[in-house]
Amino acid sequence: MLIFIIIVNNTLKSSLPTVLSTETQTLASRAFESIKSDIIAGRLSQGSKIVESDLALKYGISRGPLREAIHRLEQIRLVVRVPHAGSRVVALDSKMIEDIYVARECLEGMAARLAARHMTGEDIRSLMELLNQHERDIGKAEGKFYFQSEGNIDFHYRIAVASQNRWILDNLNGELYQLIRMCRHQSGQAPARPQISLEQHRQIASAIAFRDEELAELLMRRHISGAWKIVKTILEEKHE
C-alpha cells in the first residue's frame, strides 16, 4: 500500500491533477507517474536510452507493468519507441516545440470559445478570483518562476476543463501541458513576463464573462502565439 500525502500550499491552491494524485491502484500506473515526473524534471535526460530491466530494478517491479508504463509514456509523447530497438526519452527540438505551441493555439482557442459558452456565473467568479490570487503571488514571490509557471498552466487548465470537450481537455492536459512543463524545466525555467501574461488572462476572462465566444478565441490564440514568439527568441539566443 502506498499513501500519497497532499501538501496544500495556502498561498497557492492548485487545481491541477498532478497534485491531487489519485492514489493509483496498479504498479503500472505508479511507475508511469514516477517516470513521467522524472522525465519532466529532467532526472531522466532528453534523448537518453530507457532500458526496461534497469528501470524495473530501479522501481522494484517486474518488466510487465513497467512495459505498460513505457507504452503509456509513448502515447503522451514523452518517450519514443522503435520496435526491437528500445525506447528513449523524447528530445525536444525547436520544430517540435513550435508544433506544440501551434497545436495549443488552435485547441485552446477553441477551448476558450467553448468556455465562453459553458461556464456558469460561479465558474467565472472563481476564475476571476484565481487571477487576483495570481496578481498577489506576482507581487509576493518575485522571481519564483515555478509558482508563476504552474499558476499560468492553472489558468489554462481551467479553461480546458470548462470547454467540456474531453478530446480537447485530454489533449491539452494529457500531452501538451506535460511537454510545456518539461520544456520549461530545462530551458532556464519560465518566460517571465508575468504582468503582461496576467493582463491577457484578464482580457480573456472578461470576454468569457461577456459571452463573446469570438473574442475569447481570438484573444487566447494571440496569447499563445505571442508566448511562442518569446520562447522562440529565447531558444534562438541560446543556440548561439
Partner DNA sequence: TTAACCTTTATTGTCAACAATTATTATTTA
Partner DNA sequence: TAAATAATAATTGTTGACAATAAAGGTTAA
Q: Closest approach of Cβ 53 to DNA, in Å?
A: 5
Helix H or strand E encompassing 214: helix 213-238
Choose among a copy of itself, DNA, none what residue 52 binds, the Cβ cut-off being 5 to 8 Å by kind.
DNA
Rounded to whole angstroms, the Cα distance separating 197 from 203 reads 10
Q: Which residues bind a copy of itself (CB under 8 A)?
A: 25-26, 29, 64, 67-68, 71-72, 75, 83-84, 96, 99-100, 102-103, 105-107, 109-110, 114, 165-168, 171, 175-176
Q: Which residue stretches of 21-93 are H helix?
A: 27-41, 52-59, 63-75
Choose between 31 and 153: whose C-beta lies nearer to DNA.
31
φ and ψ of 54, to 5 deg: -60, -50
Please give the grid coordinates belonging to residue 152: 499560468
Q: Which residues bind DNA (CB under 7 A)?
A: 25-28, 49-53, 61-65, 67-68, 81, 83-87
Q: Closest approach of Cβ 63 to a copy of itself, in Å?
A: 10
Q: Closest approach of Cβ 28 to DNA, in Å?
A: 4
Match 461577456 to its residue by C-alpha cell. 210
Choose among DNA, a copy of itself, none what residue 100 binds, the Cβ cut-off being 5 to 8 Å by kind.
a copy of itself
Helix H or strand E encompassing 130: helix 121-140
Q: Closest approach of Cβ 74 to DNA, in Å?
A: 10
Q: Look at residues 109, 108, 110, 116 and name the one whose alpha carbon lies nearest to residue 208.
A: 116
